[in-house]
Chains A and B, each alone.
Chain A
Amino acid sequence: MQKDNNLIKSLRDPKIRAAYIFVLPSLLLIIVFRIIPIFMSIWLSMTEFNIANPVASKFVGLENFKEMLEDKYLWQALKTTVYYSLGTVFPGILLGLVFALIISEKWFKFASTARVIYFVPVILSTTIAGLIFSWIYHPSFGLLNYFLSFFNIPSKAWLGEPKLALSCVIVMTVWKGLGYNITIWAAGLLGIPSEYRDAARVDGCNWWGEFWYIRVPLLRPVLLFLTVLGFIGSFQSFDAIYVMTGGGPIHTTRVIVFYLWQNAFQWLKLGYASAIAWLLFIVLIGLTYLQFRSYGKEAEL
């Protein structure tokens, strides 16, 4: 009662009233489109949802989760997602470091121009990037087959070949994300005080020694940040697969979110798709935990 009175009293204060009015719209939207859906999703994952007649949906308990254990396509999709993530994240980070190291050197003259050029694919939509690469990978008229013909390498169907398709999507993703990795690495490199490096040089370190013993340890938070953010992003990827392969050929590029989308919106198994979403949540929550920790470390740097 006392508390209620305080609240009413405080609402007479125009400053407090304004604050509530400022917060309220966002709060309502977040409740309706983020909080309530969480509980709906828990319920959905335990039903066999009937989209034509939701009232007739059947409660099935943990049946959907049991089905997941036996669904070999789900495990294939998870495996594909892990391959895709490993294939995009680490090569991207490594290449990004190499390029960032070069353009961060004092003698390098066109650092800002280079950074702008490398950043252009980052702002390109995944849809356009995927379509351009599909065109380059085209089996009959593609630029890639044309280039390779100079080296007498026979034409391939690229996105049409089960063994190659995922790698082709990975190449596109690394191409598109390189500028991002360079930007983050370059910011990290810039944050290292030059006295550290000069001191190492005075003590007789060569470039490699100074890089390995001075900069690498200091850049570990950046590495963690890029790794975790990279995995969170690539585990949720959908657009590239949707545009370039549609999950094929013979399911070899079907990643987890694409499989979730198929279950929900092509086969209308909304209950099962919700269960898959929770599996994804468990994977991502682990990665998100790491992300928050790496933000903390980033702040220390």
Chain B
Amino acid sequence: MKYRILHGVLYLVIILGAITMLLPLAWMVVTSFKTYEQALQWPPSWIPHPFNPQNYLNVLTLRGFSRYLLNSTIYATLGMLGTVFLASIAGLAFAKYQFPGRNVLFLFILSTLMIPGQVTLIPVFLILKNLRWLNTFLALIVPGLGAPFGIFLIRQFALGVPSELFDAARVDGASEFRIYWQVFVPLCAPAISTLAVLEFLGRWNDLFWPIIVTNTPDMRTIQMALTLVCRTLYDIIWNELSAGMVLAFLPVFLLFIIFQKYFVEGIALTGLKG
């Protein structure tokens, strides 16, 4: 009996916590369906009346969010594909090939993890400026393609894959690239998926890097747009901005529902940023 009361209280703590987690998100969704007048109504109401889905249309067309969503999709997808490809071939080489300089090169690459991004930020900006890459997708994507952590992650996983499988493919006459593609990638799918999710999410949610290397409206990423548009001189047009936020969060949320395991694993490995 004593325990039943205690357990009840603890369930309540978890439920209240869960409500606290979801309430701000619910408020975003509710606000996104309000009219401007209703968003500024006092006392605030939890039911949008009249129901106003027009915000989504306005944000996508008048406010240019379809372009910003496209930009973020290009940035996050190409950046993710490039990083995962380069990190996985390098990780494979470091784990399963013998070649002169292997250990030195690996330690060299790993040691760059000690350098925080803020130190290299300004020089990389200047390099991109000299290349005339600012305000292009090249500036957004290319500097991030060399990924020491990704190489490390894939290598550690690849070490556990039995070498006999590769040798068997070689005996069958497969080229080294075919071995990568048809033997290694399927075997390393868990590590590759974790890295892919991490790289995609990092870019989709990133604000800092796009702010540094782009400043034209047509290069805005979705997160950048959220800090800039749907504003009057004095305040934010909260109902429209909320619609924009829902659109920015929806792709990530859907991916999370599908690839939950990889999200949790990847983020647990690397910690929080922002």
Across the interface, A116 reaches (CB within 8 A) one of B27, B151, B252, B260, namely B260
Does chain A have a CB within 8 A of B242?
Answer: yes
B188 within 8 A of A: no
Contact indicator B21/A175 (Cβ below 8 Å)? yes
> What is the 8 Å Cβ interface bit string for chain A, positions 231-266, against chain B (1 contact, 0 not)?
011001111101100000000000001001000110
The reply to whether the CB of A18 lies closer than 8 angstroms to some CB of chain B is yes
Contact flag A128-B116 (CB < 8 Å), given A16-B98, A23-B105, A40-B123 = no
Query: Which of B118, B249, B260 is the most central at the interface, judged by chain A CB atoms within 10 Å of its CB?
Result: B118
Report how many residues on chain A are interfacial, defined by Cβ distance under 8 Å. Answer: 98
**A288–B114 contact, CB under 8 A?**
yes
Residue pair A33, B124 in contact (C-beta under 8 Å): yes
Interface string of A94-136 (1 = CB under 8 A from B): 0000110011010110100011111111111111110111111
- Minimum Cβ distance to chain B for residue A159 (Å): 12
Q: Within 8 Å CB of B109, what residues of A?
A: 26-27, 30
Task: Answer whether residue B54 sits at the interface, using C-beta atoms and an 8 A cutoff.
Answer: no
Q: Which residues of A contact B168 (CB under 8 A)?
A: none
**Which residues does chain A contribute within 8 Å of B70, judged by CB atoms?**
none
A120-B256 in contact (CB<8A): yes
Output the nearest chain B residue to A24 by Cβ-Cβ distance: B90
- Asked if A238 and B208 make an inter-chain contact with CB atoms under 8 angstroms apart, the answer reads yes
Give the contacting residue for A131; candidates B10, B116, B122, B245; CB below 8 A.
Answer: B245
| A223 CB–B CB distance under 8 Å | no
Known: A16-B99, A128-B248. A29 touches B39 (CB 8 A): no
In the complex, A177 Cα to B273 Cα: how many Å?
10
Q: Which residues, 16 to 34 on A, are CB-close (under 8 Å) to B?
A: 16, 18-20, 22-23, 25-30, 32-34
Find out whether the CB atom of A127 lies under 8 angstroms from the CB atom of B120: no
B157 interface residue per 8 A CB criterion: no
Residue among A20, A34, A273 making CB contact with B112, cutoff 8 Å: A34
Q: Is the CB of B97 within 8 A of A18?
A: yes
Q: Is A6 an interface residue (CB 8 A)?
A: yes
Given contacts A102-B13, A131-B241, A136-B27, is CB(A37)–CB(B127) below 8 Å?
yes
> Smallest CB–CB gap between B73 and chain A, Å?
15
Q: Which residues of A contact B107 (CB under 8 A)?
A: none
Task: With A29-B142, A30-B146, A125-B207 as known contacts, state yes or no: A242 contacts B274, CB within 8 Å.
Answer: no
What's the Cα separation between A25 and B178 when bound, in Å?
18
The answer to whether B98 and A41 have CB atoms under 8 Å apart is: no
Contact A132 B24 (CB under 8 A): yes
B203 smallest CB distance to A (angstroms):
11
Selecting from A74-82, A210-218, A275-283, the interface stretch reads A275-283
User: What 1/0 flags go to B92-135 for Cβ under 8 Å of A?
Assistant: 11100111101001000100101111111111111100000000
Top 10 A-B pairs, shortest CB-CB distance = A29-B146, A126-B274, A18-B176, A37-B123, A125-B205, A19-B97, A40-B123, A37-B120, A22-B93, A22-B89
Q: What are 9 contact pairs spanning A and B, CB under 8 A?
A: A16-B97, A36-B127, A37-B123, A41-B120, A41-B122, A117-B21, A141-B238, A264-B121, A277-B119
